[in-house]
Amino acid sequence: MSTTSKPRIAIVGYGSQGRAHALNLRDSGFEVTVGLRPGGPTELKAKADGFTVKTPAQAVAGAELVAVLTPDMVQAQLYRDVIEPNIAAGACLLFAHGFNVHYGQITPRDDLDVVLVAPKGPGALVRREYEIGRGVPSVYAVHQDRSGNAEQLALNYCGGIGGARQNAIRTTFKEETETDLFGEQAVLCGGATKLVQAGWETLVEAGYQPEVAYYECLHELKLIVDLFYEGGITRMHEFISETAQYGALTRGSYVVDDNTRAQMRKVLTEIQDGTFARQWIAEYQSGNANYKALKQGDLEHPIEAVGKKLRANMKWLSTAPQPAAAPSVATEPKPEQATA
């Protein structure tokens, strides 16, 4: 493995994160090749962006650092079929999420450096912040350090995408994986969605107009989240009314109580002991029938019909920057198409 601060990099995958990483690294002076399945949907995009595009096997074989930026559920087969047979001895293998390594779906070859660099934001934001001279905060970790230089490689990559501009935090594959899954399940996606739906249902069942309930339980959530994002809970208290503050301080624990925290601990335990990972892997391998049914239930919840109608009159939404969507499992490439 070269000791240069700018190793030859292969980006495998060209979705939201893959494209942002590739563009930022190139602009930082790294030699970047993109590995994609010929004829795949992102091949033309990568070529239009000016990258040399090779088959995944060819890109991996010519790289000193291989960044695996495909969806979680296709990475194990991708590693087994493409990366392990072709990656150079002593190269560095990089992930943006520790799921597969932490849960034993990928056991990296013993001669490789294995690191993680995870920006705390979607690809579009990673790119946009880099372009204006800033960066999205990132965490990094080292799983195997065979060269004695793995941490520096992770930091160099992190710097190349702009993350080191915000003082990257060292973590572990275990901590990154388990906290990321917990945040998604208990708070950001699972918890927030169920809270919004339950609040809306409570108001509608009590006879209030669905449209008014939508504004109070979903639409205005953005106002509070933006305050959290800008300055934490302190900033929220600076900008909401005293009535809202008193209600929040005295009634919030009605909803998030000891039982809620006990359920959160259950979520965390199932992440820590591998229950969630085993269930998700089995679900994916069996065709995602349960996942698709559960997702359809969310999409068909009555709040969605109300929201669609109300948002049609929110003209500012059509001009607002759109976040890069995470890959939908229902439309993710099959394992043999993992690098599309």
Q: Is 40 flagged in the annotation as binding?
A: no
Cβ distance 51 to 187 under 8 Å?
A: no
Residue with tokens 């998604």: 184
Task: Write the DSSP symbol of residue 104.
Answer: T
Residue 236 amino acid letter: M
Q: Is 138 flagged in the annotation as binding?
A: no
State pLDDT tens for residues 118-150. 999 999 999 999 999 999 999 999 999 999 999
Q: Is 15 flagged in the annotation as binding?
A: yes
Give the count of alpha carbons within 13 A of 285, CB side only. 10
Q: Is 123 flagged in the annotation as binding?
A: yes
Task: Spell out the domains of the chain, with CATH numbers in brackets.
Answer: 9-171 (3.40.50.720), 188-256+288-317 (no CATH)
Per-residue CA distances from 273 to 73, 178, 181, 268 (Å): 19, 10, 13, 9
Say how many Å lie between the first and final Cα of the chain, rounded: 27
pTM metric for this prediction: 0.90
Q: Is 50 flagged in the annotation as binding?
A: no
Q: Is 337 flagged in the annotation as binding?
A: no
State pLDDT tens for residues 320-329. 655 544 433 3
Q: Is 284 flagged in the annotation as binding?
A: no
Cβ distance 95 to 68 under 8 Å?
A: yes
Give the count of alpha carbons within 13 A of 241, CB side only. 3
Q: Is 16 flagged in the annotation as binding?
A: yes
Question: In the chain, pLDDT over 70 holds for what percent of residues?
Answer: 92
Please name every residue paired with 144 in a beta bridge, in sequence order, or none if there are none.
114
For the residues 280-286, what does the mean pLDDT come to?
Answer: 98
Q: What is the 3-state secondary structure (H, E, C) of 233-265?
A: HHHHHHHCCHHHHHHHHHHHHHHCCHHHHHHHH
Cβ distance 63 to 41 under 8 Å?
A: no
State pLDDT tens for residues 216-256. 999 999 999 999 999 999 999 999 999 999 999 999 999 99
Active site positions, annotated:
97
Backbone angles phi, psi at 197, to 5 degrees: -65, -45
For the residues 332-336, what does the mean pLDDT come to?
Answer: 34
What's the confidence (pLDDT) of residue 108?
A: 98
Q: Is 241 flagged in the annotation as binding?
A: yes
pLDDT at 335 over 60: no
Backbone angles phi, psi at 66, to 5 degrees: -115, 120
